[in-house]
Structure 1
Amino acid sequence: MNDYRILVVDDEEDLCEILKFNLENEGYLVDTANSAEEALKTDLTKYDLLLLDVMMGEISGFKMASMLKKNKATATIPIIFITAKDTENDTVTGFNLGADDYISKPFSLREVMVRVKAVLRRTASGNEKEAPQQLVYKGLILDMTKKKVSIDGIEVSLTKKEFEILLLLLQNQGRVFSREDILAKVWQEEVYVLDRTIDVNITRLRKKVGEYGKCIVTRLGYGYCFEYQ
């Protein structure tokens, strides 16, 4: 088994299920979507690879790929186009959009498995070399190296303590930290810091991160945590 998570996006439900079944047999974690619109409603940042059909409804595979490549949070997700279109122009378009591979229908499942494995191996090794020090949730990016936070590419101005609180919560998604925990980890040796200080900083942080403020959840009587929504 491995931890690679793959999203198959194709308007042919039967094909989605066939690919899902065979990929899961190879040990991958697989989700499916029957349109680009459906796929774009999910948290795409959790996927290591997208298998993307070109010919779909209102938003084509090419258009969806273009949207993803323009968003810093999803720009590096590998994409394999799967399509009945196999002209040279279509292939060139796919690669120009940043596709990692291109498979034409009809195809053998064995071919798909081999190409998926090759792309994941190649992109995984590339990611290890770069080792970006970032925490990403949808359009929210926390850069640990540059000490910056951005939302949809726009930098958010946080104080040092606000940044450190967000870093703590994001690094431990779902874990509840009491006020005492946060004081010990963020304020450390500083003295005369009141519990109320935590509440004030959390309130400001929620406002500054906009729609992601709702992810900073209060557990009454226990403390705070960051939950994916």
Structure 2
Amino acid sequence: MAENDYRILVVDDEEDLCEILKFNLETEGYAVETANSAEEVLTLDLSSYNLLMLDVMMGQMSGFALARKLKQNENTKDIPIIFLTARDTENDTVTGFNLGADDYISKPFSIREVLVRIRAVLRRTIGQSEEEGHNMIKYQELILNLDNKTLSIEGNDVPVTKTEFEILRTLLEDKGRVFSRQQLIDRIWPNDVLVLDRTVDVNITRLRKKVGPYSKCIVTRLGFGYYFDA
């Protein structure tokens, strides 16, 4: 996701500060909207925002109280939050993180610091979200999707059998570890099926052909077995 795809809501009762942050964040390519109170935020549809920046000390409802409400709501509980505050105390910091904050920035702050913090939070939280949505094992442009049991290489789907998929999964999940033929048999084939060492070799050969540019990563350790060399 590119920066200009991220939507950020800045919430602070200082309108000038909101405008300064909005201008600088939009210059960086973010889509930014502002609000000047917690009460105003609660009237908005927050589901499309990728990040909320909340001032702690605001009017009737504080940023902490707002965050508590948002974290209790199923539709907003996963939106990352960065707190902005003029109160740099250990208790406030602990309170913020206990509420589920992703970062805490003390005023006065430099725009450069804010940009660095925002990038770090988005990279961490959006990355986790995408991985959770697509349970995958990746090595460069080779991707095993564990949810729909598919393999793609450089964006192209590669048909594999269940056995080939499980062999590749086993090797990828523990890169560098040498698996003997018997270990692979024990992990992948049903216990009531008689499988010869040669069967493993045949499946490895077929798998190497299918993974193309990554065939050399599936290495034979003579006398021991196979491993994925990353």
TM-score normalised to structure 2 length? 0.57
Task: String of CA shifts for 1:70-104, please: whole Å, max 9, x gaps.
Answer: 00100000000000011000000000000000000
Structure 1: tracts of 5 or more residues without a match: 133-229
Residue by residue, what CA displacement relative to the aligned partner does 1:141-195 show, whole Å, maximum 9, x if unpaired?
xxxxxxxxxxxxxxxxxxxxxxxxxxxxxxxxxxxxxxxxxxxxxxxxxxxxxxx
Residue 104 of structure 2, aligned match among 102, 105, 123: 102
1:84-163 pair list within 5 angstroms: 84-131=86-133
Letter in 1 for 2:67: A
From 36, 53, 61, give the equivalent of 2:63: 61
- By how many angstroms is 1:129 displaced? 1.2
- Mapped to 1, the partners of 2:42 and 2:48 lie a distance apart of 12
- Matches of 1:130 and 1:43, distance apart in 2: 24
- 1:26-82 deviation line (CA, Å, top 9, x unaligned): 000000000001111110111000000000011100000000000010000000000
Matching residue's letter, 1:61: G
Distance 2:69 2:61 in 1: 10
User: Which residues in structure 2 correspond to 1:26-37 (within 5 Å)?
Assistant: 26-37=28-39
What's 1:78 paired with? Answer: 80
List alignment gaps of at least 5 residues for structure 2. 135-230
**How far apart, in 2, do the equivalents of 1:2 and 1:122 lie?**
17
Residue in structure 2 matched with residue 222 of structure 1 by the alignment: none
How many angstroms apart in 2 are the aligned matches of 1:26 and 1:58? 32
Q: C-alpha distance in 1, partners of 2:78/2:107?
A: 25
- What is the count of residue pairs matched by the alignment? 134
- Aligned equivalents of 1:2, 1:19: Cα separation in 2: 15
Of 41, 48, 69, which aligns to 1:39? 41
Structure number with the bigger relative contact order (C-alpha 8 A, sep ≥ 6) is 1
Whole-angstrom CA distance in 1 between matches of 2:109 and 2:127: 27
Q: In structure 2, what is the Cα distance between the partners aligned to 1:61 and 1:112? A: 18
CA RMSD of the aligned region, Å? Answer: 1.6
Is 1:22 the equivalent of 2:15? no
What letter is aligned with 1:40?
L
Please point out which of 5, 9, 12 is paired with 2:11: 9
Measured in 2, the distance between the counterparts of 1:26 and 1:118 equals: 14
In structure 1, what residue type is equivalent to 2:28? Answer: E
Q: AA paired with 1:113?
A: L
Taking every aligned residue pair, what percent have the same amino acid on both sides? 73
Q: Distance in 2 between matches of 1:3 and 1:50?
A: 15
Q: Is the partner of 1:6 in helix, strand or coil?
A: strand
Q: Secondary structure of the residue that 1:8 maps to in structure 2?
A: strand
